[in-house]
Amino acid sequence: MTAMLSIDGLWKSFAGFVATRDVTFELLAGETHAVIGPNGAGKTTFFNLITGHLRPDKGSVSFEGRDLVGLPPQKIVRLGIARSFQRINIYPRLTVFENVQVALIAHEGQQWNLFRPGRSLHRQGTQELLELVGLASEAEETAGELSYGKQKQLELAIALASQPRLLLLDEPTAGMSPQETGETIASVRDIVKARGLTLLFTEHDMSVVFGIAERISVLHHGEIIASGTPDAVRNDPEVKRVYLGEHAHG
């Protein structure tokens, strides 16, 4: 497999605090890759550097051979990278259907007008995405009134509206019940397969990580301390030390 995303010598500091330290990383086309690490290890910062929400101090980020550093987030989305955030990012007062429809309209560069003619646009595409994430029967519900797990599914549909080749999910199961977690992960796995997506995700739930990741990278104090197959990472002495150290301190 070839590298879809290549990151080389990436650094990011906040007022002298180094959040990303000389990160070099390759994501292969078609793989499902988890980025794990204790709280504050720098996972979200790493994602923000890829998606243009932060600009690195040093280093390069290249997607399918194209340099991303300095591009604004919307431009990076257009190149084929979509993302979901840790906090919910939907229009709570619009219906489920409208949330996805707006995302499709925005992606096509069309104008959204609550009263027309926007309402008739992309109805089929919207329906297809809702079916894909299992929200077809909730289409007319108000988005803000959905359960937390369903709101995350809606976010996923919104992310997919930009037709990404690479999907970045920041803690897709955070705050979910065990049942919601299981359903969400099964759904993500199916969608990734159905659409042939490359998936990069962060996650605290190790059963999720080891259940779906083909490769795992471990961040600690902004540095990648291990990267490899789940078995290799599980048995890595440095990784064990970091995680056991965490538990020892509660």
Ligand X SMILES: Nc1ncnc2c1ncn2[C@@H]1O[C@H](COP(=O)(O)OP(=O)(O)OP(=O)(O)O)[C@@H](O)[C@H]1O
Residue 217 binds ligand X (CB under 6 A)? no
Closest CA to 129 of 147, 114, 107: 107
Residue 179 binds ligand X (CB under 6 A)? no
CB-based contact 197:165 (threshold 8 Å): yes
Cβ 202 to ligand X shortest distance, Å = 7
Measured from the CB atom, the residue of 19 and 27 that comes closer to ligand X is 19
Cβ 154 to ligand X shortest distance, Å = 21
Among 27, 36, 42, 97, binds ligand X (CB under 6 A): 42
Measured from the CB atom, the residue of 157 and 216 that comes closer to ligand X is 216
The region of 1-9, 34-42, 147-155, 209-217 touching ligand X under the rule CB under 6 A is 34-42
Measured from the CB atom, the residue of 214 and 246 that comes closer to ligand X is 246
Residue 43 binds ligand X (CB under 6 A)? yes
Residue 134 binds ligand X (CB under 6 A)? no
CB-based contact 19:202 (threshold 8 Å): no
Helix and strand element counts for the chain (H, E) = 9, 10
Measured from the CB atom, the residue of 161 and 242 that comes closer to ligand X is 242
Among 41, 158, 166, 242, binds ligand X (CB under 6 A): 41
Tell whether the torsion through CA atoms of 158, 79, 128 and 3 is positive or negative. Answer: negative
Residue owning tokens 């959905």: 146
Closest CA to 4 of 35, 31, 29, 34: 29
- Mapping DSSP onto H, E and C, the string for 98-135 reads HHHHHHHHHHCCCCCCCCCCHHHCCHHHHHHHHHHCCC
Q: Total residues at the site for ligand X (CB under 6 A)?
A: 11
Residue 39 binds ligand X (CB under 6 A)? yes
Among 10, 23, 36, 45, binds ligand X (CB under 6 A): 45
Joined tokens for residue 37? 């690490």
What is the Cα–Cα distance from 229 to 27, expressed in whole angstroms? Answer: 13
Among 14, 70, 92, 144, binds ligand X (CB under 6 A): 14
Instruction: Quote the DSSP letter at residue 86.
Output: S
The region of 25-33, 42-50, 106-114, 127-135 touching ligand X under the rule CB under 6 A is 42-50
Query: Which residue ranges make up the site for ligand X (CB under 6 A)?
Result: 14, 17, 19, 37, 39-45
